[in-house]
Amino acid sequence: RVIMDSKPSKNHSQGDKIVAADRLVKFFHLPNSRSTGVLSLLKELNADYELHVLNIKVNEQRSAEYLAINPMGKVPAIQHGDELITEQVAIFLYLTDLYPEANLAPKIGDPLRGSYLRWMVYYGTCFEPAIVDRASKREPLTPLVSPYSDFDTMLNILTAQLSKGDYFLGDKFTA
């Protein structure tokens, strides 16, 4: 259900399927980057999206046009109507709410919703910074000021949660 760099109209014809413009998102992607997670989610959601692949060879992610979308020049980013959403976790939360029928996120009121939100945010605020620091061989901050305490603590918390079932929420697969 991907439309390659076309201009959205009220509806798009895609083979025998009409793609509703009200759920069509434009997805800004760089292959082999963290935006690949969003691409996987779009496919898992069976979402309608317009794929815009940025050309890193010409530094398109640093162009004035793209910096108007994400001033940091980073991917992923999506545009849905007039809304621009950046930051991987925000995009995951937005898309799972936009496609609730895929059941990839507990709905508001579900007892698992709080845990789901916790682990989604844990990824961006604890896991990823810890991995980047470790991979970059950067000296970590003291646990008192570090967003993830220390690498071993972050990893032990993550491992303990994953030991409870096949997925973060036990037996329920989520985004």
Single-letter residue type at 48: D
Q: Which two tokens stand for residue 129?
A: 């910074």
Task: Give the pairing of strands 49-53 and 25-29.
Answer: parallel
pTM strictly above 0.75: yes
Closest-CA residue to 66 (of 40, 86, 49, 43)? 86
Q: Give 120-171 pLDDT, tens digit per residue.
A: 999 999 999 999 999 999 988 898 999 999 999 999 999 999 999 999 999 9
Question: At 62, which amino acid appears?
Answer: R
pLDDT of residue 40: 97
| Residues in the chain with pLDDT values less than 50 | 6-17
Report pLDDT for 8: 41
Helix, strand, coil % in the chain, rounded to nearest 5: 40, 20, 40
| pLDDT (0 to 100) of residue 16 | 45
DSSP code at position 24: -
d(CA 76, CA 139): 27
Give the pLDDT score at 140: 84
State the pLDDT at residue 5: 54
List of E strands, the chain: 2-4, 11-14, 17-20, 25-29, 49-53, 77-80, 83-86
